[in-house]
Amino acid sequence: MIKPRDPLPFSLAVAQELLAAYNSPLYVYQLDRLVTTITYITNSIPYPDTQFHFASVTNGNVALLQVFRNHGWGIHANTPGDIYLALAAGFTPDRIVYSGSNLDRDEMRQVLEWGIHTINLDSLSQLETLRDIYRDEYIKPRLGLRLNFPALTGASRIGVHPEQFGKAVEIAREAGLTIDGIHFYRGTGTNATQAFTDAIETILSLASQLPDWSYLDFGGGFGYPYHHEKAAFDWVEFGRILSERLSRLDRKIQLAIEPGRAAIAGSAVLLARVVSIKWQGKKQILGVDTTVANLSVPSVHGGYREIVSWHDRDELFNTDVCGNTTYSRDYLGRNCQLPHLKIDDIIAILDVGAYGYAMSSHFLHRLRPAEVLLDGDRHRLIRQCEDYSILLTNQIFEDDRV
């Protein structure tokens, strides 16, 4: 299992040094944790013909994408923007898998012009768009269908029903292409290993209805134990069962795995400083210098992220950690157990590597923090913090100040 992190990510001295160098709030990525996780996931699937693709929807920092590239992973792209970032990070088009939704013709053409080798489409209509614009001068892509099978994928808007497979094969043939793959994604954040392993048999039997079936893309969706004491997705068990089953097939199938959250969630913390303290009865209400717009998951999506501090933990108090706006949902954490803190004390919000910075926004007109990569005792800036000029970017108005 991926070991949950120690409660404190690094020493107080390091936290102070980082905030002195880059200001607060600050996203801090720990290279050693990221590499350990990448290696762990890679080694947990013994099936020989396996490729790993990091789902960059969770984190599009190019310096981090390069870490995945250096460890032999490709990229899984949900959107053309994901592809653009992957190319900037130095991934070649054969290392990028696209499996998104609802491209217009120009975007579909762009994906083909970029030379993306593997394209998983989610509707017959998207397949028709591809057929209509496909030209022989493009690299011939491997084509896959995103599976829609409510018993496995839930009632999802994404994907093609098995009864449409025949029609899909026909449309692809009209462009001189074949349907080579099946793409399965059961939704994000599932820690129940069996929810994946129980699906294998059905997926394989559905996929084998495709005459040219040669690859299986198994998602995406693997959970991360944000509640450190609770069950975690069991990569070794999953890898063993899937590999064993694929090895028994009567044809050679390539396997693709595209974890997002599980690969990067635990490698980052968001540091912030306390700027205000009040008590409501026995509850400590901390105001910190970051906001739900910098990290939307806990408050907007109800996700839990543990919050820790380095200060004397002898006595802990029920604490709400509140962002620096008046938005009624601006809570980074509710009912956290924290010591009595003082102004300028540092807190760390743990496990924010996935869907953290990537989901930040300018809602509330707070600026986005910097991102830093910590490698042992060295650190380097991998994204600048913003200044107020960013709030004017692309706005068109008459500047009455001059």
Ligand X SMILES: Cc1ncc(COP(=O)(O)O)c(C=O)c1O
Site residues for ligand X per CB under 6 A: 55, 57-58, 76, 78, 99, 185, 188-189, 219-222, 258-262, 354
Residue 395, φ and ψ in degrees, nearest 5: -80, 145
Structural contact between residues 163 and 138, judged by C-beta atoms closer than 8 angstroms: no
Cβ 224 to ligand X shortest distance, Å: 9
Residue closer to ligand X, measured from CB, 185 or 196: 185
Residue closer to ligand X, measured from CB, 22 or 226: 226
Residue closer to ligand X, measured from CB, 97 or 336: 97
Residue closer to ligand X, measured from CB, 24 or 59: 59
Residue closer to ligand X, measured from CB, 48 or 187: 187
Secondary structure letter of residue 246 according to DSSP: H
Q: Is the peptide bond before 260 cis (omega within 30 degrees of 0)?
A: no
Question: Residue 277: helix, strand or coil by DSSP?
Answer: strand
Residue closer to ligand X, measured from CB, 103 or 341: 103
Residue closer to ligand X, measured from CB, 189 or 303: 189
What is the DSSP annotation of 38-80?
HHHHHHT---SSEEEEEETTS---HHHHHHHHHTT-EEEESSH
Cβ 57 to ligand X shortest distance, Å: 5
How do 215-217 and 346-349 pair as beta strands?
unpaired
Cβ 374 to ligand X shortest distance, Å: 23
Cβ 112 to ligand X shortest distance, Å: 19
d(CA 92, CA 69): 10
Cβ 158 to ligand X shortest distance, Å: 8
Q: How many helices and strands, by DSSP H and E, does the chain display?
A: 13, 17
Sign of CA dihedral 147, 153, 156, 161: positive
The CA angle 60-19-11, to the nearest 5 degrees, is: 95
Cβ 248 to ligand X shortest distance, Å: 26
Cβ 396 to ligand X shortest distance, Å: 33
Residue closer to ligand X, measured from CB, 188 or 284: 188
The CA angle 152-153-156, to the nearest 5 degrees, is: 150
Cβ 354 to ligand X shortest distance, Å: 6
Q: How far is CA 57 from CA 225, 290, 354, in A?
A: 19, 22, 8
Residue closer to ligand X, measured from CB, 146 or 366: 146
Cβ 139 to ligand X shortest distance, Å: 21
**What is the distance between the terminal CA atoms of the chain, rounded to a whole angstrom?**
61
d(CA 304, CA 301): 9
CA 322: distance to chain centroid? 25
